[in-house]
Structure 1
Amino acid sequence: MWSSVRERVSDNCRGHRGAKYHWCVFFYFYASRATHLGHDAPAWLIRKQMSAFVLKIDSVRPPSPEFLDWRLSRLNKVQKVSTLRDLFNVFCQSLVRLLNLLYFVLQDNFKNASRPIPGLEVRNILRLQSDHGLVKSYFKHIFYHIWTFNTFPYPKIFSSVLKDERVMQAVQKAARAEILDSGASELSSQEEDINELQDEATMNRLAELIKKHQKRAFKILKVMGSNLNDFLLRLTSYVLYKLLPLFLTKVVVNREQVQRIQEAAQSGIPLIFLPNHRSHLDYILMTFILVNAGIKAPLVAAGDNLNIPLFGWLLRGLGAFYIKRKIDPAAGRKDHVYRAVLHTYMVENLRAGHYVEFFIEGGRTRTGKACMPKGGLLSVIVDTFMDGVVEDALLVPVGINYEKLVDGNFVREQLGQPKVMESFGSAVRSIWGVLNSSYGVMRVDFNQPFSLREMIDSYHNHIKSRAVTPETSPVELLPLQRSLSVGHYQVTVPGSKKLLHSPPSSASLYGTDVVVEEQRHIVEDIARHVVYDSIEAVSVMSTNAVAFLLLTKFRNGTNLEELAQALDDMRLDVRAASLELGFSGDSVDVINHALSILGPGLVRRERLTTNQGDTVLIKPVTMVPNVIELSYYSNSCLNIYVLEAVAATAICSLLPKSTLELDTEYFVSRDDLVSRCIEICSVLQFEFIFAKPCQSLETVILDTVENLHHKSYLLHEQEPRKRHLSEVDSDEEADFVPQYVSYAINCEKEYRRRLGFLCSTIRPLLEGYAAAATCLDNLVGQQLTEKQLLERITAECDSQLKSEFAIFEESRCIDPIRNALKMLEKWEVLECHSQDRLKVYYLRPDFDSELRVQPVVERLRSLVCTAPQ
């Protein structure tokens, strides 16, 4: 071993490196942070998980009490050395650590700055090493951005957009529509040619209006267009290398994922980056990561609310193009010119070879969960491929997560208060506050890119193999008191529309009047697939895991040891779900780190004195509004358990109330269990995407039930009976009598406790949905605005909490309640229309009475259940 170490060191100390070797030795013994670097090196070599302390070494902070205790314990160990041989062993270990550290310092190459430390799968991109001499080591960021920063062409397409036939037709259409609105002509056909108009006054007026809308198209494009340029990318990247370490400990990416994107970029096919959206910082950091990995910067779709002085110009130079949050001026009237300019702008950029990035969820998530996709911009990408503008496009789902949200929190909005719009002053105050705070680790994960061409081809093959039309849905909701057929299972729920498929996005550029029905289904399926993949790409951060455990398992508080054991178990669950952890190290260190990030406003430590001595109780703050912010971090973990939680809720809802507190053996049939699971999925269809579009929901649920059986939550009935002949359909084979499969609920305390944990993960949502259903009788014979209805539902949530029907204070969040109203619209219980730019809700005629609403209320309230105690 010693010979190999000497060889590595001597090879790196020849020539000009000898001086650096001596300088490194001097630095090791005298620099204030040498101990920190020496502490890192063994972990790099033997792939050990780093502790919470190591996660924070990049920032200059005084030693923590835990580190002082550790250093004291190490000192005590040295003092207890009894023999000269033991002392020599301690010295050798320290020397090996020093030599290994020097080996990595001398081996890092400035020309390959993106190369990670061997043995690590992830890389902190804020660390940029150089060994090109002492000067370049100190000015490595400057030299990197001058000499090795890749340069790409970013062509401008301004003139080609205005000359496009689509924009010109939209201008003419808008001019004719304005003449019709003014009553100046009796035009009845949108396809009528302008030259066929006989009225000279109308022709003159039409020519004026065409010029007016041409100028408007020019103005729209000028406000919308990006000004991506290489110089500003270099300058901003250099500045970010200096600013980001002030408030972020690390910006972590997976080395293999980045290499995969680099290989995809070399294919010459346009890349479409589709990240989830958590913070305004996403815009800049995504571009920062890509350009520093040698990948061309994409054009990024941003809301026009970010087009504020100075910051709007900066984002525009980094690739942002601005889109109005409300494209149409009023309901029922389309802004044809704006839609055409936006569509053509994206098409021409793809034609010119630009990469594109947009947030398929639309806006930032307010709850911590993924939002349902918006298909507007994705429909442009699909349309571009269908028209043959590009031969193919690679869609890249991206998962972004933060240990602490840089944007603050969304508590105001979740309490029903209006959103505060961005301004220059608020942006400056926010940046100043961010630079003086600590937000821990930020992580970006890239999922496997997939071909748009292959996705569309597989969709067409799937349609042909099933011999169905695009309008045919394998799962349809039938009216109340009728059955929903899902495979072999029957579910009774209200409504008549498709299950688990979102309606067309209101932000779609054209809608079903232009985009054919088949293409709309393709866009919808691809969008849901992308969101599903981006959810799978999101890493679980330390704050997510700790908040989730405290709100579900230890709502009344727990000690550090018990919480650490639960975190160890959760790590296994995350790995079993094929997800990534955004932290490593001992669970106790991870918890202490997460608690320091979350702060005492969300999690408290209380010292308790018992007969066994003093202990520290870790307890979440469960009062509103604190619990709403804590639930934001917790909700990122829901996708790990959501299918098992649905199955557990289905089991508990099928149990008679008399068995909830007794050790009574109870059986549930597999058919009833799967049917109830499908019903719960239909209730939460706007909260989660339970399966990929290419998967069968029935199959996914059956696999989940079988997994619960494999884990011994469910036990097979000892002697499963066969179905009675009267239960066999007449068209079934006479000799085929399938078995009636049923499960016994495992009554052991550990499994009942685990069942209760699974139920608690989605119960806050179901409590909010039950409150929304309970308030339906407020709409009998009248209509209410959205604001009025939401106020009554949140009041009902408070009433449920007082009566102890509801036990989770976060059930009064506004976004899940809005999703409950969408679900009731999908079930055709509610109707909604816009009146003076206000949403107005009222009951459909079939449900406009307390008697007819009551079954819906009872159905949703029956899903709010607890596990056997």
Structure 2
Amino acid sequence: MTSKAPPPSGGTSPRPSSPPTAPDLSILGDKVALHPAGYTEDPPLPNSAGGATMRERNVIESMARFRSSPFDFLREISLHVSGTGWRSYERIVGQPIFYAGFSERMKDMVLRSTMLRAKVSELAEKRVVVEEEMGLLGYQNGTGAGASSTTANITGKRRASDGVIKEEGNRDKRQKRKREIEASLMEVAGQWTDDMICKMESKRFIRGAYYIATALLTRAYHQGIHVNTEEILRLKTIAEQAEKKKQSIIFLPCHRSHVDYVSLQLICYRLGLALPVVVAGDNLNFPVVGPFLQHAGAMWIRRSFGDDQLYTTLVQAYIDTLLQNGYNFECFVEGGRSRTGKLLSPKFGILNFLLDSLLSGRVEDAIICPVSTQYDKVIEVDSYVSELLGQPKPKENLMDFLSASSILNLKLGRVDVRFHEPWSLRGFIDENMVKMPMQMGNSEEEQKKETRIRLLRTLGYRVLKEINDVSVVMPTALIGTVLLTLRGRGVGKTELIRRVEWLSERVKARGGRVAHFSEFQTATVVERGLEVLGPNLVGTVEGLPEETFYAVDRFKLSFYRNMTIHLFVLQSIVSAAMYMKVKQGGGPEQQRISFHDLREQVYFLSQLFRGEFIFPTEGLDVNLYRTLVGLESDRVIDIARHPENPDQMETISLSAAELESGRENFDFYCFLIWPFIEASWLGAISLIMLAPPAGIPAGKENVVWLENSKVQDRAQLLGKTLYHQGDLSYFEAVNKETLKNAYQRFVEEGILLSSRAALPNGKTVQTIRLSPEWCPQRGVDGVLKPEGKLWAFAELISLSRREGKNRRDGGTVRRRVLGLVETVAEGLWGIGGARVEDGKSVVVGGGVKDGEESASEGAAKRTRRRQIQTRASL
């Protein structure tokens, strides 16, 4: 966190602008067409009256169906099987793939890895030592009993000779046993390698796979896959250079859908680029689908490696082999799919492997290419909402996979894929190593560890920033954002169109990209977007003088709104900080806020959300200054400056123009951030459930650890109750992902202590409890008091919450909320099994003894220190 950087000099700040973009390329079945940038539909065709009429794209024209056109259908299959023209995939840009023996060659190279063999030898040696200590090697004993004095010398020589022979025999046994263990480990490694590596061996197979994937994808996304021609030409040039240097291109896309890797593979195939090897979780490796994906480029890895050193080394050896031989590579920087629509924080598992390959010198260089994939509509949104509301994630299986066919006749719009300018990973490492200061007093090993952590975080957040930089805001995201940032139940069509146009301009002013509408009117684009979203997301009120739309399912629609929030997160945080004064009402004087108070609240909120959003890296003061100047130039706020120093801001207030417009810009920014503020407030209030109930023996209040997942489940139940009773404004505040992020922040700040506990079934779970200084106190009547550090923390969040009619009666609300928290907490303490028996602490589902508390607390504090050292913030 950089909070003391001085504001930039000068009275104004340059505003980002949207650069001119090259034409788009659409890929629909066998057709590749050139269109204006951001093209969304076929151009209008002249009708019989001489005017223009819309023509919907008919997928039958490019991907024939057997029932309607059997001969065209058979012809298309024949072209793909025979490999006619571009379908042959013969002259690709990149290293040779799809030849007989490819996977066996890869497996052999992995198993011959020097690093892997060294690890196998190390593990075998450790096992031999254990067996020696346990007496399992059957060593011969040393010398026997003593001898008479007259034969002592002769017997001594014989014993010495026998000892040497026995020692040599023992050494031979030891070596033989070590070789047996090494052979066994290599056999296991060979099986794991065979299960893990991609098996791209048949061009005939990949032609068929391309046809099937394209037919399915373009029936669901009827407007096809769109890319930018300039980006594609640049990528192809980089790929040609990488091919000559035998370097890999590492594609790092965002991850919102399973369609992400399918679309990127189709683009590479259609444009003649070598297909990347895609890192995939082995949860997708189920019958039929698993082998199909593995032969199309998937490499399977476990969801968790645990402490398995052999498996970890094997994955590293495979990645090394791919990068050493220049094979393209793809992994998702966020780890899993985003269930909320916005980018997740980076996961560093695979990035760590990639970085290690270069830092160790085993790989000279590789090319990083961040990729943004956007959708008019995401197929999995319904299942995402179920998961976010607490439903367990179902295990992947073939029937669920095939059930996706039920949506293939829907019109889901288009897929938009954008490629950031690729850059050298070696250059990135060298540049950042120079910038990183040496920590005095640390050992060389600690220095290396800290440097790696900084490099990893810098790499992860740079990739996420560049994905956001090239992302295109789709029409459905514009519509969803407008519908969820307006006051009232619904919006007329005229106002919806006006606000979509306004939001498009705001996105461009922030340096973002909007899916342009070619020569179509905004009204037509809005109609198309509403059609894609469908009546289950956006409803229409019938029988009114003007078409009026409303959000049917705000939770699902928030997924599309979250696709735009990264562009306005700074303005939203500043507006929410100002709101603590604005909501007090009165004249402009009463709503004015001092720069000091504004900065304090902005700092608090930015710390609260640093795990939720990707912030610019310039530091709090620079970002705040630029944001305020930008809002001033947009005539949203007025800034009173010191008469002798124009750079010194004294007070901030809403401008007369903004007040006259009904605060539509200010409210827009607030509406974007309010659901996240509500979720954080809910998280803070739910921590009160961790206050030990009355009746726990004295001195044992702070030794009970509760299972984190069960606490969060109860927090969701609390949130749902608060929402339906009117004390929570946004139902999406109860979503599991945001609550999980809030709890992680509480651990980092030391509000919660975190540990691991073993359950009776042998599994380990994360357990939490309140830090003693944050634990609420009870009165003599046993009732929780609305005071203390935790309550003050929740109240500080509440200052920026949206004002609601049920929250103006402060004392009543406190009693109602605290009473409800106590009621929900009964299920946590009484049902889950967390209790105190005979003065001993018992965790939910298992046991953590009192003597282990200090060790757990120490581990939690060490974890917090590491996280604070590497945090990313506003």
Do both proteins adopt the same fold according to a TM-score greater than 0.5, normalized to the shorter chain? yes
Q: Does the alignment pair 1:776 with 2:687?
A: yes
Q: 1:867 to 1:336 in 2, by over 3 A?
A: same
Q: 1:656 to 1:289 in 2, by over 3 A?
A: closer
- Is the Cα–Cα contact under 8 Å of residues 729 and 804 in structure 2 kept in the other structure? no
Letter in 2 for 1:825: V
Aligned to 1:765: 676
TM-score computed with the length of structure 1 as normaliser = 0.72
CA apart distance, 1:391: 2.8
The CA distance in 2 between the partners of 1:598 and 1:680, in whole Å, is: 32
Letter in 1 for 2:388: Q
The CA distance in 2 between the partners of 1:459 and 1:751, in whole Å, is: 47
The equivalent position to 1:689 in structure 2, one of 602, 610, 614, is 614
Aligned to 2:755: 833
Q: Does the alignment pair 1:861 with 2:798?
A: yes
Aligned to 2:115: 166
Aligned to 1:288: 266
Aligned to 2:814: none
The CA distance in 2 between the partners of 1:245 and 1:739, in whole Å, is: 56
Encode CA deviations 1:98-156: one digit per residue, 9 max, x unaligned: xxx9xxxxxxxxxxxxxxxxxxxxxx9x979xxxxx99998876633455753451353
Aligned to 1:800: 722
Encode CA deviations 1:613-639: one digit per residue, 9 max, x unaligned: x22220101xxxx33222112211111
Map 1:315-354 to 2 at 5 A: 315-328=293-306, 334-354=307-327
Aligned to 1:532: 465
The CA distance in 2 between the partners of 1:537 and 1:555, in whole Å, is: 33
CA apart distance, 1:199: 7.9
The equivalent position to 1:429 in structure 2, one of 389, 392, 403, is 403
Query: Could you say what secondary structure the match of 2:379 adopts?
Result: coil
Q: 1:148 to 1:418 in 2, by over 3 A?
A: closer
Q: 1:594 to 1:837 in 2, by over 3 A?
A: farther
Q: 1:213 to 1:277 in 2, by over 3 A?
A: same
The CA distance in 2 between the partners of 1:353 and 1:369, in whole Å, is: 32
Encode CA deviations 1:409-452: one digit per residue, 9 max, x unaligned: 3111101111001112221222x223333321111110111221
Letter in 2 for 1:703: R
CA apart distance, 1:515: 6.3
Query: Could you say what secondary structure the match of 2:190 adopts?
Result: helix
Query: Could you say what secondary structure the match of 1:811 adopts?
Result: helix
The CA distance in 1 between the partners of 2:754 and 2:361, in whole Å, is: 39
Map 1:121-140 to 2 at 5 A: none
The CA distance in 2 between the partners of 1:354 and 1:856, in whole Å, is: 51
The CA distance in 2 between the partners of 1:165 and 1:384, in whole Å, is: 13
- Is the Cα–Cα contact under 8 Å of residues 281 and 302 in structure 2 kept in the other structure? yes
- Is the Cα–Cα contact under 8 Å of residues 402 and 441 in structure 1 kept in the other structure? yes
Letter in 2 for 1:224: M
RMSD: 3.7
Encode CA deviations 1:650-673: one digit per residue, 9 max, x unaligned: 1113x1753x35454543333432
Q: 1:803 to 1:434 in 2, by over 3 A?
A: closer
The CA distance in 1 between the partners of 2:75 and 2:512, in whole Å, is: 37
Q: 1:821 to 1:524 in 2, by over 3 A?
A: same
Aligned to 2:17: none
The CA distance in 1 between the partners of 2:232 and 2:314, in whole Å, is: 33
Aligned to 1:522: 455
Encode CA deviations 1:341-375: one digit per residue, 9 max, x unaligned: 00010001111110111001001111111111111
The CA distance in 1 between the partners of 2:303 and 2:236, in whole Å, is: 33
- Is the Cα–Cα contact under 8 Å of residues 89 and 272 in structure 2 kept in the other structure? no
The equivalent position to 1:587 in structure 2, one of 510, 517, 522, is 522
Aligned to 1:746: 655
CA apart distance, 1:258: 0.6
- Is the Cα–Cα contact under 8 Å of residues 149 and 234 in structure 1 kept in the other structure? no
Aligned to 1:247: 220
Q: 1:351 to 1:770 in 2, by over 3 A?
A: same
The CA distance in 2 between the partners of 1:802 and 1:405, in whole Å, is: 28
Q: 1:580 to 1:716 in 2, by over 3 A?
A: closer
5+ residue gaps, structure 1, are 1-42, 58-66, 79-89, 102-123, 129-133, 188-194, 329-333, 473-511, 724-736
Aligned to 2:364: 391
CA apart distance, 1:767: 0.5
Letter in 2 for 1:237: Y
Aligned to 1:668: 593
Query: Could you say what secondary structure the match of 2:369 adopts?
Result: strand
Map 1:84-123 to 2 at 5 A: none
- Is the Cα–Cα contact under 8 Å of residues 145 and 238 in structure 1 kept in the other structure? no
What is the aligned length? 684
Stretch moving more, 806-815 or 171-180: 171-180
The CA distance in 2 between the partners of 1:199 and 1:48, in whole Å, is: 73
The CA distance in 1 between the partners of 2:363 and 2:610, in whole Å, is: 34
The CA distance in 1 between the partners of 2:446 and 2:110, in whole Å, is: 23
Query: Could you say what secondary structure the match of 1:411 adopts?
Result: helix
Encode CA deviations 1:503-539: one digit per residue, 9 max, x unaligned: xxxxxxxxx9996220221111111100111122221
Q: 1:207 to 1:453 in 2, by over 3 A?
A: closer
The CA distance in 2 between the partners of 1:821 and 1:168, in whole Å, is: 42
The CA distance in 1 between the partners of 2:184 and 2:755, in whole Å, is: 32
TM-score computed with the length of structure 2 as normaliser = 0.72
Aligned to 1:551: 484
Query: Could you say what secondary structure the match of 2:460 adopts?
Result: helix
Query: Could you say what secondary structure the match of 1:267 adopts?
Result: helix
Aligned to 1:638: 565
The CA distance in 2 between the partners of 1:228 and 1:679, in whole Å, is: 51
- Is the Cα–Cα contact under 8 Å of residues 476 and 532 in structure 2 kept in the other structure? yes
Aligned to 1:258: 232
Letter in 1 for 2:479: V
Map 1:491-502 to 2 at 5 A: none
- Is the Cα–Cα contact under 8 Å of residues 645 and 759 in structure 1 kept in the other structure? yes
- Is the Cα–Cα contact under 8 Å of residues 51 and 589 in structure 1 kept in the other structure? no
Stretch moving more, 797-806 or 140-149: 140-149
Q: 1:337 to 1:470 in 2, by over 3 A?
A: farther
The CA distance in 1 between the partners of 2:718 and 2:135, in whole Å, is: 54
Q: 1:861 to 1:203 in 2, by over 3 A?
A: farther
Q: 1:721 to 1:196 in 2, by over 3 A?
A: farther
Aligned to 2:251: 273
The CA distance in 1 between the partners of 2:217 and 2:582, in whole Å, is: 56
Aligned to 2:632: 709
Q: Does the alignment pair 1:603 with 2:538?
A: yes
Map 1:841-856 to 2 at 5 A: 841-850=768-777, 851-856=788-793
Q: 1:314 to 1:827 in 2, by over 3 A?
A: same
Query: Could you say what secondary structure the match of 1:764 adopts?
Result: helix
Query: Could you say what secondary structure the match of 2:767 adopts?
Result: strand
Q: 1:677 to 1:239 in 2, by over 3 A?
A: same
State the identity %: 23
Q: 1:258 to 1:48 in 2, by over 3 A?
A: closer
Q: 1:710 to 1:322 in 2, by over 3 A?
A: same
- Is the Cα–Cα contact under 8 Å of residues 150 and 291 in structure 1 kept in the other structure? no
The CA distance in 1 between the partners of 2:684 and 2:205, in whole Å, is: 53
The equivalent position to 1:209 in structure 2, one of 142, 161, 181, is 181
Q: Does the alignment pair 1:454 with 2:427?
A: yes
Q: 1:425 to 1:176 in 2, by over 3 A?
A: farther
5+ residue gaps, structure 2, are 1-32, 64-71, 137-166, 692-700, 758-762, 778-787, 806-874
Q: 1:838 to 1:136 in 2, by over 3 A?
A: closer
The CA distance in 2 between the partners of 1:470 and 1:259, in whole Å, is: 50
